[in-house]
Amino acid sequence: MLVSSIYAGPTCISGQLRPCPWHSGNDNYRCDRVLPCTNCRVRSCESICSYELQAQDAPRSKNSLLASRPPALRSSYILPPSSAPSRISLPRMTTALGYGLTAAPTVSILTRLDVAPRTWGERPQAVTIRTSHADSLPDFAEYKTVIRQLPAATFIEKLMAIFLREFNWQYYVLDAAHFRAQFREWNNIPYSVYRADHLQGVSLDLAVFPAVLFQVVAVALLMLSDEEAEEFDSLKYSANMTLADLACEYSMSGERVVSMFSKRDLSTTTVQAEFLNACFFKLTARVAESWHMLGVAIKDAQELGMHRDGVDTAPVHTKLDDQWHLERRRRLYMILSIWDIHMCLVLGRPGTIDWRHGSPTLPIDVCAANTARTPPLVPRNPDTDPPTPLTRFLWQYELTCALRDIQDLEHVEMLPGDVSRVDKLHEKLVRLYQSTPPIFRMENPDTRWDAHDGVAPWIQWTRYYFCIFHCFSLMILHRPYVFHRKESRAEALRASLALLDTQRLMFEGQPSATWKNFVLFYGAFDAVILISSIYIFFPQEHPQLPHVSGQHLQWAIERFATMQSRNPLAKSADTVLRAVFDRVSRMADSRTFDADSEATACSSPESSSVETSGSELDMDSGQFVQPIETHGIMPGESGDHFEAVLGPDTVWHFSNLFPQ
C-alpha cells in the first residue's frame, strides 16, 4: 500500500525545496512533470519552475525505486535530457521586473552572462528560451467561449477571400500563403485539446490566431458589396441587426482574445491582430481609438524587437522558415512606421516611434508568383517580374522619409524670413515625385502589368494615391506658413487644387465598397479647409479664387453626401463643409456685388467691359483658374516652375480641372 501511494516520477527543483505535496494525501497538487507543473501553479510560482538537466533518469518501476533509493532521495528524480523542458533564460526572467528584452544595457549584459560557460573550460552554449505560454492561459474556459463565436469554416473561407482581394493589398499586413497555412493548422487542432484545461502543445502564434481571424472577418464584412451581403445575412442573430453591427462584435471578440495574453506572451500574430483592429477602428470612423490601438501595436512590436536588427535576427539564418518569419516581421514594422508618421501629420497627434533610434532593415521585395508557403527568397526583377503590394509599400516608405523631415521642421526654430529649410524640402519632394517608378506614374505610366491578375485590382488606385500623396506632402509642408508667406500660399493653393482634382478622378473610378477608404476623406477635407482659408483671409491676391474653391467645395460636398451610407466620417464632415461653403459663397457674392458697382460707376467703356467680363465668366469654363497658371503667384516665378512641381500632364493644369 505504501509503495502504490508514493509518487515515483521526477519533480521540479522548486518542489524539492518544499514539503512534498503528496504527503498530504492530495494527489491533485503533486508535481506532474510539465512546465510549469501543477505544484508550482498552485503556489503561484510558475516563473521558478525548472528541472535539473544533467541528472539521469531513474528506473520507472515503483518496486525498484524503493529498493534502490533511500526515502530521502525519492523526491529528486528528474526527467531524462531528451524530454526535459527547456529552462527559462535569465533575460526572460527579468521581464517580471519591468525590463525590456531589446535595449536595456543590464539585460544585454545578462544575455551574455546567460550563455557564458558555467564551469572552467566549458564552451558557451546557446540557451533555448521558452516563448510559448499558451499552456497557461489565465482563463481557458473564457478563451473557449470566445472562439466559439467564430462563424463556420465555410463562411470564414469566403470572408478570407474577400479580405485578401479587397483589403489586404492596401496594407499587406498578412502574407496570403502563410495566413492560409495558419488557418489550416488551426482547423486541424483536435477536439481533445479543447476538452482539456489548457492548450497543451499549441504554439503561442496559433493560440492568438483566432484574434486575427476575428479581425479579418470583421473587416471583410465591411467591404461587402450589396450583392455579396445577402449571402451572409444568416450570420445575424437578431432582428434589425446589420452586418456592420455583426462586424463590431467580431472585432470586439478579437480584442478579448488578445487581452487574455499578458505582455510577456507576445508574438507576431498578436501585433497583426492589433494592427487589423486599428484598421477596423479607422473604417468605422473611430479614429481616436485607431490611433491608440496603433500605438499599442507599435509598443508590442518593439517589445518583440522588431525595431532593431540586432534583436529580431540571428547573425546567420540557415532555415528558410526563419528567413520568411524575419521578412514578415520587417514588413509589419515598416507598415506600422508608415501609419505612425502619416497619422501624426494628418491628425496632428504625437507619434509613437522615435526615428532617432534608427529603423530595421527593409524587407525584400520577392515575386509573388510562387504561392508556396516558403518560396525561395529571390528579389523581384523590375524588368521581368510584375510589381507586388510590397513594391508599392517600399516606394511609399521612401516618400514617408520626407514626411519625417517635414515633421522635424516643427521643432526647428527658424528666424523670421529664413525659409531655406522649407525651400530645400520642397525641392526634395519635387525630385521624389520626378523619380516615381514608371509603374506608379500618372503621366505615361508603364502599363505592361495592368492586366495581370495580381496587379490589376490595385495598380490604377495606387497611381492616384501616389499623386494625392505628393500633393498632400506639398500642402502640409507649406501649410504652417500660409498666413505670413505669399510663396507658401501659392504652393499650398496649387497642391490643394491638384489634390482635389485627382481625388475626384479617383472617386469616379472606384466601386462603392471602397468608399470607406480614408484617402477619399482626409485629403479632401484638409485641402478644402486650406483653400477656403486662403481665399477668406487673402481675397485681394486672387480675385478668381472664389469660383475655383466654390466649385471644388461643391464637388467635395456631393462626394461626401454620396459616401455617407458607407463612410461615417463623410457624414460627420458634412456640417463643417457646408458651413465653410456658406462662408465662401457669401464672400464671393459680396465681391461680385462690389465689382458690379465699381463697373457701373466707371465712365470708361473699355474698363467697364473688362471688369464685367471678369465677373460674369461661366464657372465651368475654366477661365477663372487660367490667370493663376499663366501669370504665377510667386514673385519672380513663372508657370513653368509650377509645372515642374506638379507635372506637365493635363491633370495638373488648372484650366482642365472642370468638366467641359
- In tens, the pLDDT along 384-405 reads 889 999 999 999 999 998 998 8
* Least confidently predicted of 193-207, 239-253, 493-507: 193-207
Counting the structural domains of the chain, the total is 3
Examine residue 152 and state whether it is found in any structural domain, yes or no: yes
Render pLDDT for 416-436 as a digit per residue (tens, 0 to 9). 667 888 999 999 999 999 999
Residue 162 pLDDT: 94
User: 53 and 171: one domain?
Assistant: no
User: 164 and 312: one domain?
Assistant: yes
Examine residue 74 and state whether it is found in any structural domain, yes or no: yes
Q: Which residue has the cell 523670421?
A: 416
Residue 491 pLDDT: 93
Residue 86 pLDDT: 47
Q: Output phi, psi for 379, to 5 deg.
A: -60, 145
Examine residue 380 and state whether it is found in any structural domain, yes or no: no
Percent of the chain whose predicted confidence (pLDDT) is above 70: 64
Picking from 60, 88, 116, the residue at the C-terminal end of a domain is 88
Examine residue 462 and state whether it is found in any structural domain, yes or no: no
Picking from 357, 374, 399, the residue at the C-terminal end of a domain is 357
User: 138 and 66: one domain?
Assistant: no
Q: Which residue has the cell 521642421?
A: 409
Residue 134 pLDDT: 52
CB atoms within 10 A of CB 248: 17
Residue 59 pLDDT: 40
Examine residue 138 and state whether it is found in any structural domain, yes or no: yes
- Rounded Cα distance between 441 and 433, Å, is 9
Who wins on pLDDT, 180 or 616?
Answer: 180
Residue 573 pLDDT: 78
User: 511 and 648: one domain?
Assistant: yes
The mean predicted confidence, pLDDT, of the chain is 74
* pTM value surpassing 0.95: no
Residue 292 pLDDT: 96
- Rounded Cα distance between 57 and 83, Å, is 10
Picking from 312, 339, 357, the residue at the C-terminal end of a domain is 357
If you average pLDDT over each of 160-164, 356-360, 506-510, 654-658, which comes out highest?
160-164
pLDDT tier, 609 (very low <50, low <70, confident <90, very high otherwise): very low
SS3 366: strand
Percent of the chain whose predicted confidence (pLDDT) is above 90: 30
User: 308 and 170: one domain?
Assistant: yes
- Rounded Cα distance between 534 and 542, Å, is 9
User: 40 and 173: one domain?
Assistant: no
User: 70 and 163: one domain?
Assistant: no
CB atoms within 10 A of CB 504: 18
CA dihedral 77, 78, 83, 84 (to 10 degrees): 170
User: 82 and 140: one domain?
Assistant: no
Residue 70 pLDDT: 39
Residue 247 pLDDT: 96
Q: Output phi, psi for 366, to 5 deg.
A: -105, 140
User: 75 and 210: one domain?
Assistant: no
Residue 592 pLDDT: 57
Examine residue 565 and state whether it is found in any structural domain, yes or no: yes
If you average pLDDT over each of 29-38, 82-91, 130-139, 258-267, which comes out highest?
258-267
Residue 100 pLDDT: 57
User: 60 and 148: one domain?
Assistant: no
Examine residue 373 and state whether it is found in any structural domain, yes or no: no
Q: List the domain range (segments joined by +) for residue 568.
A: 482-656
Residue 538 pLDDT: 86
Under 8 Å between Cβ of 548 and 625: yes
* Least confidently predicted of 264-278, 541-555, 567-581, 646-660: 646-660
Residue 220 pLDDT: 95
Report helix, strand and coil shares of the chain as percent, to nearest 5: 60, 0, 35
Residue 408 pLDDT: 86
Examine residue 38 and state whether it is found in any structural domain, yes or no: yes
Residue 184 pLDDT: 94
Q: Which residue has the cell 482659408?
A: 533
Render pLDDT for 118-159 as a digit per residue (tens, 0 to 9). 454 444 444 333 444 555 565 788 899 999 999 999 999 999
For 346-354, the CB contacts below 8 A with 24+ separation are 346/522, 346/526, 347/287, 347/291, 349/291, 351/407, 352/294, 352/295, 352/298, 352/299, 353/298, 353/307
Render pLDDT for 98-112 as a digit per residue (tens, 0 to 9). 555 555 556 556 555
Angle at 512 between CA 284 and CA 446, to 5 degrees: 110
* Least confidently predicted of 294-303, 544-553, 578-587: 544-553
User: 153 and 82: one domain?
Assistant: no
> 455: which 3 cell numbers?
496587379
* Cβ neighbours for 402, distance < 8 A, ≥ 6 positions apart: 425, 428, 429, 432, 473
* Least confidently predicted of 365-369, 518-522, 641-645: 641-645
User: 69 and 140: one domain?
Assistant: no
Residues 42-61: what's their mean pLDDT? 54
Amino acid at 300: D
Residue 49 pLDDT: 72
